[in-house]
Structure 1
Amino acid sequence: MAVVNIRGVDIMFPFCPYECQLAYMDKVIEAIDMKFDTVLESPTGTGKTLSLLCSTLGWLQKQKSSFIPTLQDATQIASGSTGPLSFLPRIYYCSRTHSQLAQVVHELNRTMYKDIRSTVLGSRDQLCIHDSVRKQMDARTSVCRSMISRRSCQYYNKWDRELGSVPDIEDMVATGQKVCPFFRCRQVQERAELVLLPYNYIVDPQLRKLHKIDLAGSIVIFDEAHNLENICEDVTSVEISSIHIALAIQELKDAIQCLQNEIEEKASEIVGFLKLNWPKIAVFWISMLVLLRIVFPGDVLFETFESVGISFDKAELFCKVLLDTSEYLQQGSGYLFQCMRTATVMKFWCFTSSIAMRSLKVNGVRTVIVTSGTLSPLPNFIKNIGFDQIFAAVLNKSPLTEQVLNGCFQNRHNNEYAVGIAESVVSLAKTVPQGILVFFASYSLMDHLISKFKELKNSSQKFPSKSYWEQMTDAKLVVVEPKQKSQLARVRSEFTRGVQNEKGAMFFAVCRGKVSEGIDFSDACSRAVCVVGIPFPPLMDIRIHLKRLYLNELKTQSAEDWYVTEGYRAVNQALGRVLRHVNDFGMVALLDESREYFPSWMRASIKVFDKGSGFPSEVTNFFASKKLVITVRSRSHICL
Structure 2
Amino acid sequence: MPAGQDFPAFPYAPYGVQQDFMQSLYSCLQEGGIGLFESPTGTGKTLSLLCSVLQWLQDANNAAAADVPQGDLMPANEAEPDWMRQQATEHVQQANACRAAKQILLDMTQKRAESHFGRRHRPSAKSPHQGAVDSGDVCGDPDDENFLLDDAGGQASMRSLLNNSDASSSDSDTAQESVPPSRKRIQVFFCSRTHSQLSQVMAEVGRTPFKESLSFVPLGSRKALCINAGVQKLGTVARMNERCLELQKPKAKKRDSTGDRKQTSKSSPGCPYLKASSKRAQQLKEEMLKEVLDVEDLAARGQQHRSCPYYATRHALPEADVVLLPYSSLTTQASREAVGINLQGAVVIVDEAHNLVDAVGSAHSAQVSLSQLQASEAQLAAYLTHFRQRLSPSNTQQLNILVLVVTLLAKVLLKPAAAQQSRLDSTAAASSTCSIQLLNHFLFEHGLDNINMFRIVRFMKESKLLFKVSGHYEHQLTKAARCPAPFSTQTPQVCIPAIDEEGSGLSALHATVAFIGALTDDAADGRILIDLQQGTLKYLLLNPAAHFAQVVEETHALVLASGTLSPLPLLQRQLFPHHPLSRLHTFTCGHVVPASRLLLLPLPCGPTGLGLDLRHATRSRPGMMDELGRLLMNICQAVPQGVVAFAPSFAYIAQLHQHWQASGLWDRLSAKKVTFVEPRTAAAVATCLQEYSAAALATAAPPASGWAGQSGALLLCVVGGRLSEGINFGDGLGRSQQTAGQQYYEELCMKAVNQCIGRVIRHQNDWAAVLLADARWSQSVDSHGRGSSSLLNQLPAWMLPHLADFGPLPPLGCPLLVRPARDARREAAILFNSPTQTYLDVPARFCRDMALTRGLSVQNKTSSPAKDSAKSSVETGLKLFSDGKFRDALQYFESAMQAGPSDDEARAALYNSACAHAKLKQWQPATDAVRKAVNDYQLRLTVAIKDADLEQLRETREWLDALDTMRGGLSSRSVAGLRAEAKAPFRLARILTFQGLFAGAAIGLVISSTRLFAALTGQAGAPDTIETARNFGINLVGAVLLAFLLRRDLTSQSKDRRTVEREEAFARLQVSIGDRVLP
What is the TM-score of this pair, normalised by structure 1?
0.75
Question: Amino acid of the residue matched to residue 244 of structure 2?
Answer: R
* More divergent stretch after superposition (374-383 vs 577-586): 374-383
Instruction: Tell me the SS of whatever aligns to 2:760.
Output: coil
Alpha-carbon distance in 1 for matches of 2:552, 2:226: 33
Match of 1:51 among 41, 48, 52: 48
* More divergent stretch after superposition (370-379 vs 577-586): 370-379
CA gap 1:452/1:316 in 2 versus in 1, 3 angstroms? closer
CA gap 1:422/1:157 in 2 versus in 1, 3 angstroms? farther
Question: Amino acid of the residue matched to residue 358 of structure 2?
Answer: N
Where in structure 1 are there 5+ consecutive unaligned residues?
71-81, 458-467, 538-562, 632-640
Contact kept, 8 Å, 1:215 with 1:360, in 2: the verdict is: yes
Contact kept, 8 Å, 1:151 with 1:157, in 2: the verdict is: no
Offset at 1:404? 2.1
Match of 1:448 among 643, 655, 676: 655
CA gap 1:379/1:128 in 2 versus in 1, 3 angstroms? closer
Match of 1:145 among 244, 248, 272: 244
Offset at 1:60? 2.0
Alpha-carbon distance in 1 for matches of 2:712, 2:294: 31
Match of 2:671 among 474, 479, 493: 474
CA gap 1:431/1:416 in 2 versus in 1, 3 angstroms? same
Alpha-carbon distance in 2 for matches of 1:146, 1:514: 34
The residue number in structure 2 matching 1:41 is 38
CA gap 1:257/1:533 in 2 versus in 1, 3 angstroms? same
Match of 1:486 among 675, 678, 683: 683
Contact kept, 8 Å, 1:92 with 1:219, in 2: the verdict is: yes
Offset at 1:566? 0.4
Question: Amino acid of the residue matched to residue 118 of structure 1?
Answer: F
Is 1:350–2:541 an aligned residue pair? Answer: yes
Offset at 1:580? 1.8
Contact kept, 8 Å, 1:14 with 1:110, in 2: the verdict is: yes
Alpha-carbon distance in 2 for matches of 1:232, 1:347: 16
Alpha-carbon distance in 1 for matches of 2:801, 2:835: 30
Alpha-carbon distance in 1 for matches of 2:594, 2:718: 28
Match of 1:574 among 750, 756, 777: 756
Instruction: Tell me the SS of whatever aligns to 2:551.
Output: helix
Contact kept, 8 Å, 1:120 with 1:185, in 2: the verdict is: no
Alpha-carbon distance in 1 for matches of 2:663, 2:836: 32
Contact kept, 8 Å, 2:648 with 2:718, in 1: the verdict is: yes
Structure with the larger RCO, 1 or 2 (CA within 8 Å, 6+ apart) = 1
CA gap 1:528/1:616 in 2 versus in 1, 3 angstroms? same
Match of 2:628 among 394, 415, 421: 421
The residue number in structure 1 matching 2:834 is 628
Offset at 1:423? 1.8
Match of 2:59 among 59, 62, 66: 62
The residue number in structure 2 matching 1:326 is 466
Contact kept, 8 Å, 1:100 with 1:518, in 2: the verdict is: no
Match of 2:562 among 372, 379, 398: 372
CA gap 1:209/1:242 in 2 versus in 1, 3 angstroms? farther
| CA displacement, residues 329-366 of structure 1 (integer Å, 9 cap, x when unaligned) | 4566766965667985443433212111112245x333
The alignment's C-alpha RMSD in Å is: 4.4
CA gap 1:94/1:8 in 2 versus in 1, 3 angstroms? same
Query: How do residues 82-481 of structure 1 correspond to structure 2 at under 5 angstroms?
Result: 86-114=183-211, 117-124=215-222, 130=229, 133-134=232-233, 136=235, 140-141=239-240, 144-145=243-244, 148=247, 166=292, 168=294, 175=300, 184-188=309-313, 190-191=315-316, 192-241=320-369, 274=399, 281=405, 285=409, 290=415, 291=420, 293=434, 295-300=436-441, 308=450, 310=452, 317-318=458-459, 320-321=461-462, 324-329=464-469, 338=500, 344-361=535-552, 364-374=554-564, 381-382=589-590, 385-399=593-607, 401-457=608-664, 468-481=665-678
Alpha-carbon distance in 1 for matches of 2:443, 2:628: 51
Question: Amino acid of the residue matched to residue 622 of structure 1?
Answer: E
Alpha-carbon distance in 1 for matches of 2:359, 2:678: 24
Offset at 1:10? 4.1
CA gap 1:319/1:42 in 2 versus in 1, 3 angstroms? farther
The residue number in structure 2 matching 1:533 is 741
The residue number in structure 1 matching 2:571 is none
Contact kept, 8 Å, 2:224 with 2:295, in 1: the verdict is: yes
CA gap 1:99/1:412 in 2 versus in 1, 3 angstroms? farther
Query: How do residues 543-562 of structure 1 correspond to structure 2 at under 5 angstroms?
Result: none
Offset at 1:575? 0.7
Alpha-carbon distance in 2 for matches of 1:279, 1:613: 64
Contact kept, 8 Å, 1:11 with 1:55, in 2: the verdict is: no
* More divergent stretch after superposition (483-492 vs 137-146): 137-146
| CA displacement, residues 92-141 of structure 1 (integer Å, 9 cap, x when unaligned) | 22233445445444544444445654355444555668488546558633
Match of 2:813 among 612, 626, 631: 612
Match of 2:793 among 596, 599, 613: 599
Contact kept, 8 Å, 2:738 with 2:772, in 1: the verdict is: yes
Contact kept, 8 Å, 1:133 with 1:143, in 2: the verdict is: no
Alpha-carbon distance in 1 for matches of 2:307, 2:441: 41
Alpha-carbon distance in 1 for matches of 2:648, 2:448: 45
Larger Rg: 2
Question: Amino acid of the residue matched to residue 748 of structure 2?
Answer: E
CA gap 1:319/1:146 in 2 versus in 1, 3 angstroms? closer
Alpha-carbon distance in 1 for matches of 2:451, 2:681: 46
Question: Amino acid of the residue matched to residue 829 of structure 2?
Answer: A
Contact kept, 8 Å, 1:100 with 1:519, in 2: the verdict is: no
CA gap 1:7/1:250 in 2 versus in 1, 3 angstroms? farther
Offset at 1:589? 0.6
Is 1:505–2:713 an aligned residue pair? Answer: yes
Is 1:29–2:26 an aligned residue pair? Answer: yes
Question: Amino acid of the residue matched to residue 689 of structure 2?
Answer: R
Offset at 1:11? 5.0
Alpha-carbon distance in 1 for matches of 2:406, 2:297: 48
Question: Amino acid of the residue matched to residue 598 of structure 1?
Answer: L
Instruction: Tell me the SS of whatever aligns to 2:9.
Output: strand
Question: Amino acid of the residue matched to residue 672 of structure 2?
Answer: A
Contact kept, 8 Å, 1:255 with 1:325, in 2: the verdict is: no
Kindly, what percent of the aligned residue pairs are identical? Answer: 24
Offset at 1:392? 0.9
Question: Amino acid of the residue matched to residue 628 of structure 1?
Answer: S
Contact kept, 8 Å, 1:9 with 1:59, in 2: the verdict is: no
Contact kept, 8 Å, 2:405 with 2:448, in 1: the verdict is: no
| CA displacement, residues 460-480 of structure 1 (integer Å, 9 cap, x when unaligned) | xxxxxxxx3333333333333
